[in-house]
């Protein structure tokens, strides 16, 4: 039965249609926010997937170009693989919802979000986040929700909720906060060096707004919600845990995991697994879940050591950062490079500079095709964690980490006017044991400075972890978590920024939300650590950007011309500009406002291109001297090309101070000559003289 629900959300109408479409899904909500329309569905398999030890949740965000009245570009006129924006949206939907499904649930669950119409002032991403939560909450799929999500901007010092397109253009912050009834469960942010106290204020203002949305969702669930279905639990039997502890006492497990060498710890666990496999050789049921049981045993051991004994597996203090080092210029011939190492996490970032024409074009759901001049790409090969698997290109994790680092560095990049380059940084993960995304931010900041990019300030990133007990007050925040503390802990709270403030946040948690004291302590902890990394490591390696780009980087000369003269520089069908490029070997970019960028590696060629363009756009006056090539000879004189597409005529009477009977007696085709401008003749052509050129 079709039911419609409405609420006012940040000054616009949020409408949810239930029972109107997709009735065979476990849960479906047709979402309307303004004129943005997203169909969100939740479906689950009837039985658990066999042979897995994780919850198989899939989140999809399908962008349809018809939603903005476009036909997809390229030869194949249908949507292809998910865009980067779609991948990032899937991740931001997944992160707050995954912890709220039962930990022993192994049924396949798919959350689909189909974008059908886009109102630029009503975010389709936000609409999908709300839709996925509502579809799951009203379904029969076990889920400890609902969740709600709010986006926050900062315009003229004031917080703006679910900002419009115009507000986003001038906002100092792009913050997304998801909440349960009581706690914050997800934070994602990009910011222009926003102070920590302002960020905390924005987070909890969003949390308050989320509570109003949750009340709205509760009314929908009360009328349309289905009873949650029963499922086959895949929890490890308690009797297996008891048997394992008899063979491997807790003290032995502590010894096995208490090391700062990842390889040593893994070797210790292999010995334990081999011992248990031999002991349970006759019990196939237990052998089937032995890996999960050992994982849970490690997890309980590590959490107890940290929370109760304040002992970290590698012996560090709770607020201690692993050993740090930084280097620059480790790769020859590239435009800039830097390596940042934190414990067993090591990232090398390489910077490449190019003319603005090499900026990335993005054909998305915005009103117009957009582009970006700064790109950050992150690679995570299997060797970085001592494993072997084929490379199949970047996955969602790699795309997400690259986008996080890109967001962290954008606020400090120079403007196009200050630095007319497209920039790409590529972070190669050499070794990984926790928080490579934040190490890539540190390495990228130094790499950009080494390449001569005049960034406004250095940016560093660090991650805080969390281990909780039985109550909200029983917790411990950890500085700089390594892989084991990430796997077995409750939180990965990544914060990047400068001395001045925060530029990016990404928070992943595995529990049902965080209280305000935990969030405030995590932000304070990361600020202290970030300051230490900036002052004691990065600034001692490279304190400021180099004054010039490197020897192998392209050089750029900028010039401004009258926009009305652009056609003269380009020429008919691009003939003039292509001739300049062919003659000088440079690249030339021209913007609609008349800004020209000349890019090359040879300074003399670049200056020659600049000289030619200057000649083309100059309004000619009598007395100017030019050098040109004879391109045509007539009985009455010769035509001289003094710049691509620009020519003037020397009358036979102006060739020499002596009488000339035939033009060919003085000139030949292709000859280079000096001429002086006499102005324009009756036909509007430029007239030259050779005989009046001053010696």
> In the prediction, which pLDDT does 159 show?
97
Report pLDDT digits (tens) over 496-514: 999 999 999 999 899 999 9
Q: In the numeric block, which tokens belong to residue 476?
A: 């411990």
> In the prediction, which pLDDT does 695 show?
60
User: Taking residues 115-141, what's their average pLDDT?
Assistant: 97
pLDDT band for 235, please (50, 70, 90 cuts).
confident
pLDDT band for 626, please (50, 70, 90 cuts).
confident
pLDDT at residue 468 tops 70: yes
Q: Considering only CA atoms, which of 306, 297, 257, 319 is closest in space to residue 467?
A: 306
Which of 127-131, 314-318, 361-365, 686-690 has maximum average pLDDT? 127-131
**Within 10 Å of residue 42's Cβ, how many Cβ atoms?**
27
The DSSP string of 529-593 is HHHHHIIIIIHHH--S--SS--TTSPEEEEEE--GGGHHHHH-GGGHHHHHHHHHH--EEEE-TT
CB-neighbour burial class of residue 472 (10 A; exposed 0-12, middle 13-18, buried 19+) = middle
Which of the pair, 34 or 250, is modelled with greater confidence? 34
Q: In the numeric block, which tokens belong to residue 454?
A: 């005049």
Classify 683 as helix, strand or coil. Answer: coil
Report pLDDT digits (tens) over 3-44: 999 999 999 999 999 999 999 999 999 999 999 999 999 999
What value does the mean pLDDT of the chain take?
92
Q: In the numeric block, which tokens belong to residue 314?
A: 């590698």
Q: In the numeric block, which tokens belong to residue 382?
A: 């299997």
Report pLDDT digits (tens) over 266-302: 899 999 999 999 888 888 888 888 888 998 999 999 9
Assess contact for 322 and 482: CB atoms under 8 A: yes
Which of the pair, 111 or 569, is modelled with greater confidence? 111
Residue given tokens 């302002």 in the structure block: 198
> In the prediction, which pLDDT does 189 show?
97
Cα–Cα distance measured from residue 591 to residue 106, given in angstroms and rounded to the nearest whole number: 55
Beta strands in 469-553 (DSSP E): 475-479, 491-497, 502-509
Assess contact for 690 and 654: CB atoms under 8 A: yes
User: Taking residues 305-310, what's their average pLDDT?
Assistant: 91
User: Taking residues 620-642, what's their average pLDDT?
Assistant: 85
> In the prediction, which pLDDT does 241 show?
87
Rounded alpha-carbon distances, angstroms, from residue 127 to 9, 40, 199, 512, 664 = 11, 9, 23, 22, 77
Q: Considering only CA atoms, which of 230, 252, 16, 302 is closest in space to residue 134?
A: 16
Which of 75-79, 106-110, 365-369 has maximum average pLDDT? 106-110
Assess contact for 234 and 48: CB atoms under 8 A: yes
N-terminal to C-terminal alpha carbon distance within the chain:
96
User: Taking residues 150-160, what's their average pLDDT?
Assistant: 97
Q: Full-prediction pTM beyond 0.85?
A: yes
> In the prediction, which pLDDT does 367 show?
59
Rounded alpha-carbon distances, angstroms, from residue 91 to 25, 80, 398 = 22, 19, 11
User: Taking residues 618-640, what's their average pLDDT?
Assistant: 84
Percent of the chain with pLDDT over 70: 99
Cα–Cα distance measured from residue 226 to residue 43, given in angstroms and rounded to the nearest whole number: 13
pLDDT at residue 250 tops 60: yes
User: Taking residues 167-195, what's their average pLDDT?
Assistant: 97
Instruction: Average the pLDDT over each of 80-89, 91-100, 101-110, 143-152 and give the range with the smallest value.
Output: 80-89
Q: Give all domains of the chain, ordered by start, each with its CATH number.
A: 3-146+204-224 (3.30.230.70), 238-307 (1.10.10), 324-457+516-541 (3.30.230.70), 555-617 (3.30.1370.10), 625-689 (2.40.50.140)
Write the CB contacts of 513 (distance below 8 Å, at least 6 apart in sequence).
179, 180, 182, 183, 184, 185
> Cα–chain-centroid distance for residue 369?
18
Half-sphere exposure of 35 (CA within 13 A, CB side): 6
pLDDT at residue 169 tops 90: yes
Write the CB contacts of 610 (distance below 8 Å, at least 6 apart in sequence).
557, 559, 598
Assess contact for 480 and 507: CB atoms under 8 A: no
User: Taking residues 251-280, what's their average pLDDT?
Assistant: 88
User: Taking residues 351-363, what's their average pLDDT?
Assistant: 89
Residue given tokens 């970047």 in the structure block: 394
Assess contact for 151 and 176: CB atoms under 8 A: yes
> In the prediction, which pLDDT does 528 show?
97
> In the prediction, which pLDDT does 625 show?
84
Q: Provide, for the chain, the percentages of residues in helix, strand and coil under a 3-state DSSP scheme, each rounded to the nearest 5.
A: 35, 30, 35
Which sign does the torsion angle of CA 387, 392, 397, 400 carry?
positive
Report pLDDT digits (tens) over 361-412: 887 787 555 789 999 999 999 999 888 988 888 899 999 999 999 999 999 9
């Amino acid at each position: 039965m079709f039911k419609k629900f409405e609420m006012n959300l940040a000054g616009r109408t949020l409408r949810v249609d239930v029972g109107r479409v997709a009735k065979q899904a476990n849960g479906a909500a047709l979402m309307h926010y303004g004129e943005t329309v997203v169909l969100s569905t939740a479906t689950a398999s009837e039985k658990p997937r066999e042979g897995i030890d994780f919850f198989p949740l899939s989140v999809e965000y399908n962008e349809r170009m018809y939603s903005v009245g476009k036909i997809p570009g390229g030869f194949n006129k249908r949507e292809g693989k998910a865009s980067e924006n779609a991948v990032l949206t899937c991740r931001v939907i997944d992160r707050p919802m995954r912890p709220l499904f039962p930990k022993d649930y192994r049924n396949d669950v798919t959350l689909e979000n189909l974008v059908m119409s886009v109102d630029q002032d009503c975010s389709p991403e936000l609409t999908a986040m709300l839709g996925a939560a509502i579809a799951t909450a009203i379904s029969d799929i076990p889920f400890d929700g609902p969740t709600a999500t709010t986006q926050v901007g900062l315009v003229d010092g004031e917080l703006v909720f679910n900002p419009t397109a115009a507000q986003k253009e001038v906002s100092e912050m792009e913050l997304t906060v998801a909440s349960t009834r009581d706690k914050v469960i997800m934070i994602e942010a990009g910011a222009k060096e926003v102070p920590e106290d302002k960020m905390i204020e924005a987070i909890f203002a969003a949390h308050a707004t989320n509570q109003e949305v949750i009340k709205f969702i509760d009314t929908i669930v009360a009328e349309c919600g289905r009873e949650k279905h029963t499922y086959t639990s895949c929890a490890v039997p308690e009797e297996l845990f008891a048997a394992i502890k008899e063979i491997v006492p807790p003290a032995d497990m502590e010894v096995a995991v208490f090391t700062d060498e990842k390889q040593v710890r893994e070797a210790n666990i292999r010995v334990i697994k081999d011992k248990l496999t031999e002991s349970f050789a006759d019990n196939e049921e237990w052998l089937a879940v032995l890996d999960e049981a050992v994982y849970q045993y490690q997890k309980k051991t590590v959490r107890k050591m940290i929370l109760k004994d304040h002992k970290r597996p590698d012996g560090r203090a709770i607020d201690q950062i692993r050993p740090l080092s930084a280097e620059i210029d480790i790769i020859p011939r590239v435009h800039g490079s830097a390596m940042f190492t934190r414990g067993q996490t090591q990232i090398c970032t390489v910077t490449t500079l190019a003319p603005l024409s090499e900026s990335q074009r993005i054909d998305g759901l915005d009103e117009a095709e957009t582009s970006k001049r700064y790109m950050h790409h992150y690679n995570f090969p299997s060797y970085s964690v001592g494993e072997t698997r084929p490379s199949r290109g970047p996955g969602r994790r790699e795309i997400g980490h690259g986008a996080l680092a890109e967001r962290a560095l954008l606020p400090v990049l120079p403007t196009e006017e200050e630095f007319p380059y497209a920039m790409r940084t590529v972070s190669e993960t050499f070794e990984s044991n926790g928080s490579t995304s934040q190490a890539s931010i540190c390495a990228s900041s130094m790499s950009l400075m080494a390449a001569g990019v005049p960034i406004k300030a250095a940016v560093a990133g660090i991650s805080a972890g969390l281990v909780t007990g039985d109550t909200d007050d029983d917790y411990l925040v950890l500085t700089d978590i390594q892989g084991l503390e990430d796997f077995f802990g409750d939180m990965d709270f990544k914060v990047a920024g400068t001395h001045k403030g925060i530029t990016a946040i990404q928070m992943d948690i595995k529990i049902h939300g965080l209280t305000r004291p935990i969030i405030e302590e995590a932000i304070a902890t990361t600020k202290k650590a970030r300051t230490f990394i900036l002052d004691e490591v990065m600034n001692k390696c490279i304190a400021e950007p180099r004054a010039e780009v490197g020897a192998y980087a392209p050089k750029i000369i900028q010039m401004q011309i009258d926009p009305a003269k652009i056609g003269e520089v380009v020429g008919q069908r691009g003939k003039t500009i292509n001739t300049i490029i062919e003659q000088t070997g440079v690249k030339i970019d021209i913007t609609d406002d008349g800004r020209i960028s000349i890019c090359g590696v040879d300074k003399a060629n670049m200056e020659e291109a600049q000289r030619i363009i200057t000649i083309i756009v100059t309004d000619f006056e009598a007395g100017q001297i030019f050098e040109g090539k004879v391109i045509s000879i007539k009985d009455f004189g010769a035509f001289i090309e003094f710049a691509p597409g620009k020519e003037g005529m020397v009358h036979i009477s102006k060739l020499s101070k002596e009488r000339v009977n035939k033009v060919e007696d003085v000139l030949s085709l292709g000859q280079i000559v000096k001429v002086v401008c006499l102005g324009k003749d009756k036909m509007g052509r430029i007239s030259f003289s050779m005989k009046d050129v001053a010696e």
